[in-house]
Structure 1
């Protein structure tokens, strides 16, 4: 599961400058037009996380752009001129609970140890990491900025639904550091947080097919 129409293009998009708007499979995303896909596809990693969680629950989920439309109605994204701000967690959590009946908790502060504790409780955690999550041997250029769904861990590392396995040290490097500026995607009511919020979801057993 990815925010882009073609999973095999992710490495080229993330690291090699490939324009995702050139993906011929864009209609598979559920986008109403090529222009809409081009505009939004780089901003919906959190929507992809939600779709993964919904598929885990019932093996069925709306398309990425159907979920995006719902999240936008709740104010989880804000457009200012040509700039898109989001994902904004507080309204997104309300959307998840109201529309999809899945409990969602926003965590104002969450360090790697807290993340592992939530995973031990059986929660799925949507968290912001560096795009270097796929290349854990490298020092990240920045911390945070890309949302992934963490679903478990192994001896202090973390497993995400990408799939990707992140050893303990890169997990710490990929997280936004304590005291860093609050992400622009965080709602104003959370603007005093020391670091970007995380969102945890219940980890429910898949329904019987």
Structure 2
């Protein structure tokens, strides 16, 4: 098992297969046109296009698995397992999720990851988890990708916190922009509260 390390950047996985096209998908391009959609394991381009905008939590889990040396399954098979575990609930074209507690239970049972859903997750606890080599899935507003000075809300999107220093928390953002806010993107601690819903999931490597 690969152990957590501060020397190796946490690998990046986008919630779309073509990470370089994220700005176009955000701007309204249909994910049906993603040239790499088959890599997702979806049965059709339409299935992929339905789920891709909703798979930020799947991408966060794939990054954690990659970091800790697990084989990384394609997005759609992993999503189907999370649906079976109750972490996503689909009703027609509406989806409820990612639901934190079933997600954490799935990560513990399926991979042995020490996962805890925390409804009131403080900055101090995030710092302590990262300092110990863990990771944190955080509920933030999607406009954290550009550090929007006035986001419409807090929460609604998931990013993976991977490291921190005194001034910044570094995130891998499944819907970040290439060469700007995808991998190890710095977010000032002072700016985080305007995006952060103060809840998330702490992840630690499986016990040796």
Question: Displacement of 1:113 after TM fit?
Answer: 3.4
Query: Is the counterpart of residue 166 in structure 1 residue 187 in structure 2?
Result: yes
Larger fraction in helix: 1
CA distance in 1: counterparts of 2:196 and 2:188, whole angstroms? 13
Task: Note the C-alpha offset of 1:146.
Answer: 1.1
The answer as to whether partners of 2:163 and 2:171 remain within 8 angstroms in 1 is yes
Q: 2:17 maps to which residue?
A: 5
**Corresponding residue number in structure 1 for 2:36:** 25
Shift of 1:12: 2.3
Asked if the contact 1:152–1:158 (Cα under 8 Å) also holds between the matched residues in 2, the reply is: yes
Tell me how far apart the structure 2 counterparts of residues 35 and 48 of structure 1 sit (CA, whole Å): 19
- Correspondence for 2:176: none
Higher normalized strand content (fraction of residues): 2
Alpha-carbon distance in 2 for matches of 1:17, 1:112: 34
Distance 1:18 1:34 in 2: 13
Counterpart of 2:100?
89
For the Cα contact (< 8 Å) 1:137–1:170, is it kept in 2? no
Deviation of the 1:18 alpha carbon = 2.3
Residue aligning to 1:147 = 158
How far is 1:2 from its partner? 0.3
Q: Which whole-Å CA distance do the structure 2 matches of 1:138 and 1:19 have between them?
A: 28
The runs of at least 4 aligned residues of structure 1 exceeding 6 Å deviation read none
Q: Tell me which of 43, 46, 50 is aligned to 2:57.
A: 46
Alignment TM-score, normalising by the size of structure 1: 0.81
Is 2:78 the counterpart of 1:78? no
Residues 88 and 137 from structure 1, CA distance in 2 versus in 1: closer, same or farther, beyond 3 angstroms?
A: closer
Q: 2:100 touches 2:117 (CA, 8 Å); kept in 1?
A: yes
CA-based RMSD: 2.1
Aligned to 1:182: none
Relative contact order, CA 8 A, sep 6+: which one is greater? 2
Residue aligned with 1:149, SS: strand
User: Which blocks of at least 5 consecutive residues in structure 1 are unaligned?
Assistant: 177-194, 205-209
- Matched residue, 2:200: 198
